[in-house]
Amino acid sequence: MLPTAILVLVTSALAAAAPVADQGPGCEVDTVQAPALPKTGGSKELPDPDSGLALKHIALGFGIQNYTCTKPGVAATAAGALAMLYDITHLYPKQGADSLSAQDFNNLTSKALWTHKVPLNMNRHEPGASRTNPFTRDAPLHLQGQLTLPFLGHHYFDAAGVPTFDLDGGKIHLPCSKLASVDAPVGADKGPEGTGAVGWLYLGEKPGAFGSKYVYRVLTAGGVSHGCNQVGTDSTSYTATYWFYG
């Protein structure tokens, strides 16, 4: 009898010491790591998120950066952006069964930009997307038959030119303004159009926001202007990850 009693004691002690992991069945994750905002590794970094804030979502943004040219030969002026947003929070390393390696997570923006067409209603005969109906339907993004990214929302500039994010089924509305920017890392993906990766940004809420106060644009790929070859509007495809805090 004695050995059995000891065994029972030892077993229950082990069970009590086991970490509480609230994961789905068949999914054993010993440490769930809180996602850490990526760094450029350069001499200048974006400010860290306030320690009191929670990460609400990590999104993949996939769309276009708009530019206007008033005169050939001068630099193009940034004129807003449009992007579909897909949820990639669960793909961050060590979150659960769907998590990717750090390398694959950091390369998601490249993978989407190089292997999938821009998920907007693009114009056939002129640059950019439809002015009246630019967004494709609210549907997941499938990458190379391997990854399914759930639809999360939209990024656009409102009628007053304010960068705005609408996501999570109406739970987050974030009109915002730029608080800080840094160049993308030197090795960042220049995109299929070869123009370069747009900078990393830190944006803060404007009046009317709810559900989130700050968003970072990091791990950018593509999106830099083609330059001013002719007067008018132009756009460049891009992807980025957007990190929402609140």
Neighbours of 110 (CB within 10 A): 18
Nearest to 230 by CA among 67, 55, 5, 44: 67
Ranges assigned E (strand) in 114-199: 141-143, 147-149, 151-157, 163-167, 172-182
In the complex, minimum distance from the CB of residue 115 to ligand NAG, in angstroms, rounded to a whole number: 5
Tell whether residue 129 is a contact of ligand NAG (CB under 6 A). Answer: yes
Tokens for 176, please give them: 């915002």
Q: Which of the ranges 2-10, 12-20, 28-36, 111-119 carries the binding residues for ligand NAG, by CB under 6 A?
A: 111-119
**Cα–Cα distance, 65 to 76 (Å, whole number):** 12
Q: Which of residues 218-237 bind ligand NAG (CB under 6 A)?
A: 235
| Three-state secondary-structure class, residue 232 | strand
> What whole-number distance in Å separates Cα of residue 60 and Cα of residue 224?
18
- The pattern of x and - marking residues 155 through 194 that bind ligand NAG according to CB under 6 A reads --x-------------------------------------
**How many residues of this chain bind ligand NAG (CB under 6 A)?**
17
Angle (CA) 147 152 153, round 5°: 135
Smallest gap from Cβ 113 to ligand NAG, in A, equals: 8
Paired strand residues for 87: 59
41: phi > 0 → left, psi -120 to 50 → alpha, else beta; which?
left
| Cβ nearer to ligand NAG, comparing 108 with 246 | 108
* Residue 47-86 contact track with ligand NAG, rule CB under 6 A, x = bound: -------------------x------------xx-x----
Residue 92 or 245: the one with the smaller Cβ distance to ligand NAG is 92
Residues that bind ligand NAG (CB under 6 A): 66, 79-80, 82, 103, 107, 110-111, 114-115, 128-131, 134, 157, 235
